[in-house]
Structures are given as structure tokens and as C-alpha cells.
């Protein structure tokens, strides 16, 4: 039996593999990657590598074995059919007879306006009959704290989220939840709504940045149309800009504000405060 992590060289995947290495022998971990070279450090630590691509379902043939526990990290190619990508992985997992497939879905996937791909993937997974765990992840602190340069340059947090609040947590927190499921028992056919312990608004975020930098940083709310224009003007592809703007609108509607406490219960500790992510981002 192996613990198999897809998308293992992505931001979340690296956190998951790193935390797994603290709990199980390296030879029990399989990292699924598109480019072996990018996973050379994992191979050097004894992790088995498997090369496969979400866009090539046949590449997953032979990746999984009976009894494996699998983490399917959702794809991030928004210009592709992510549901079709995920279905290829689910079909291969079913054919192999895996013991569990955990999927990184989205907080409030059944109702969230930005969760169509996640909702459809959940339907495919449930219909497959594969034992599953739905990890409905909320927003990451790093969605904001990893791109502080323009905020610091202009002295402003510019978002299209209005007065919406975000119950975010660190990537490492969500990774810890995945590791708890992959290494624990009793998570079959369970759904977890995962988010940070405290919701915050962007004026509070700007105030925290001001406190830590000693500079005045304000929150400047803009319309969705203006926000999309800012993103495309900065060079982002239109499809990605529209996805990010949709996320802002969802936040303004309160879709990212839920604080169920399930994440902290699953990982056995409080979630990482936003202030700590800001500190890390400023050091970054």
C-alpha cells in the first residue's frame, strides 16, 4: 500500500509530501508529477516518483495499486476542462481498486458560485463508488500574502470584495488536514468543510500590513470590472483574471466567510493566524 499524491510539486502538494515524510517512511509515498526534474529533491529523500499528466488520462495507468490511499489535488489549468482531468484520475483509481481517494474541493462546493468544477468533480467521484473523502478547502492566506509587492508599492490593498470577509488558513494547515486523512482511519465517505478559525476583512488586512511595515496601507475597494481590468493590465490571461474576479465577487457575497472549526479539529491545533502569513510574506 502506498500513499499517492498527485500534483506533488505544486504549492499544496509539496506541503503534503513534506508533512507525510514526517509521519511515514519515504518508500510508502508516491509523488505524481509531470516533470521528474522538478521532483529531484523528493526522489533524493526516497519518495517514489510517477510521471503522469492530468491532460493524458492513459498516463495514470499503473500509477495506482489496490489498497492505495490517493490525494487528488485539483488541477489549476482554468483554460482546460478540469472535470475531465479529474475524471481520468478517478477512473484510474477505481480500476486499480484504491482504498481511498481524497479530493481537494472547495468550501461550500454545493452552493458556491465559483465551485462548478469542484461540484461536478464531486459528482463524478461519488458516482464512481470509490471510497472518498471530500476536503472542501477554503481560501489560502498565501493567495494574498505571496503577492505583496504591488500592495507595498502603491500603499493600497485593491480588491473587488467589498465588505466581504475571508476565513482563510495557511496552505500548511490544509496540507495537515490531507495528511491526517491519508494517515488516519475512519475518513471514508466523509466530507469536511475546511476554513480558518477566524474570518477577516480587507480593511483589517490592510491594517495588519500597516502595523507590520510601519507604513500607511489602505483598503481600496473597486468594482469587479475595474478589478478584471487591473489584472489583465498586469499581464494575466483573461480567463484567469475572470476566475480571480469571480472569487472576489464570491467573497463579497459571504461565500468564503464560514468558520466551522472543522480544519482545526482535523489537524488537532488552531489554524495559522493571518498575521503570521503576513510576516512570512513580508520576509518573502
Q: Where in the chain is the domain with CATH 3.40.50.720?
A: 3-137
The CATH superfamily label for domain 3-137 reads: NAD(P)-binding Rossmann-like Domain (3.40.50.720)
User: What digits encode the pLDDT tens for the residues 35-50?
Assistant: 999 999 999 999 999 9
User: What digits encode the pLDDT tens for the residues 208-219?
Assistant: 999 999 999 999
User: What digits encode the pLDDT tens for the residues 150-178?
Assistant: 999 999 999 999 999 999 999 999 999 99
pTM of the model: 0.96
Q: How many CB atoms lie within 10 A of CB 39?
A: 22
Strands across the sheet containing 69-72: 48-51, 29-33, 3-5, 69-72, 100-106, 132-137, 190-194
Q: Residue 51 is inside which H or E element, if any?
A: strand 48-51
> Half-sphere exposure of 243 toward its Cβ, with a 13 Å CA cutoff?
13
First to last CA, the chain: 38
The residue assigned the cell 480500476 is 95
Among 83, 86, 73, 82, residue whose Cα is nearest residue 32: 73
Q: Where in the chain is the domain with CATH 3.90.25.10?
A: 138-169+195-257+272-284
Is 3.40.50.720 the CATH number for 138-169+195-257+272-284?
no
Amino acid at each position: 500500500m502506498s500513499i499517492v499524491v498527485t500534483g506533488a510539486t505544486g504549492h499544496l502538494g509539496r506541503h503534503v509530501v513534506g508533512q507525510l515524510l514526517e509521519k511515514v517512511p519515504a518508500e510508502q509515498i508516491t509523488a505524481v508529477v509531470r516533470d521528474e526534474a522538478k521532483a529531484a529533491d523528493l526522489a533524493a529523500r526516497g519518495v517514489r516518483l510517477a510521471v503522469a499528466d492530468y491532460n493524458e488520462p492513459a498516463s495514470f495507468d499503473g500509477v495506482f495499486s489496490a489498497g492505495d490511499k490517493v490525494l487528488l489535488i485539483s488541477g489549476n489549468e482554468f483554460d482546460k476542462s478540469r472535470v475531465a482531468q479529474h475524471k481520468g484520475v478517478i477512473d484510474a483509481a477505481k480500476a486499480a481498486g484504491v482504498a481511498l481517494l481524497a479530493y481537494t474541493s472547495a468550501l461550500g462546493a454545493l452552493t458556491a458560485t465559483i465551485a462548478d468544477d469542484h461540484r461536478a468533480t464531486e459528482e463524478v467521484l461519488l458516482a464512481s463508488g470509490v471510497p472518498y473523502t471530500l476536503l472542501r478547502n477554503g481560501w489560502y492566506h498565501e493567495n494574498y500574502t505571496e503577492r505583496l509587492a504591488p500592495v507595498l508599492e502603491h500603499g493600497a490593498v485593491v480588491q473587488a470584495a467589498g465588505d466581504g470577509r475571508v476565513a482563510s488558513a495557511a496552505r500548511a494547515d490544509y496540507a495537515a488536514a490531507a495528511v491526517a486523512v491519508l494517515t488516519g482511519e475512519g475518513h471514508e465517505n466523509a466530507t469536511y468543510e475546511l476554513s480558518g478559525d477566524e474570518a477577516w476583512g480587507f480593511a483589517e488586512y490592510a491594517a495588519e500590513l500597516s502595523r507590520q511595515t510601519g507604513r500607511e496601507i489602505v483598503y481600496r475597494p473597486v468594482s469587479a470590472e475595474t478589478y478584471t481590468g487591473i489584472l489583465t493590465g498586469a499581464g494575466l490571461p483573461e480567463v484567469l483574471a475572470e476566475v480571480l474576479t469571480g472569487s472576489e465577487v464570491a467573497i463579497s457575497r459571504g461565500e468564503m466567510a464560514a468558520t466551522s472549526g472543522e480544519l482545526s479539529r482535523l489537524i488537532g491545533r488552531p489554524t495559522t493566524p493571518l498575521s503570521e502569513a503576513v510576516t512570512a510574506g513580508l520576509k518573502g
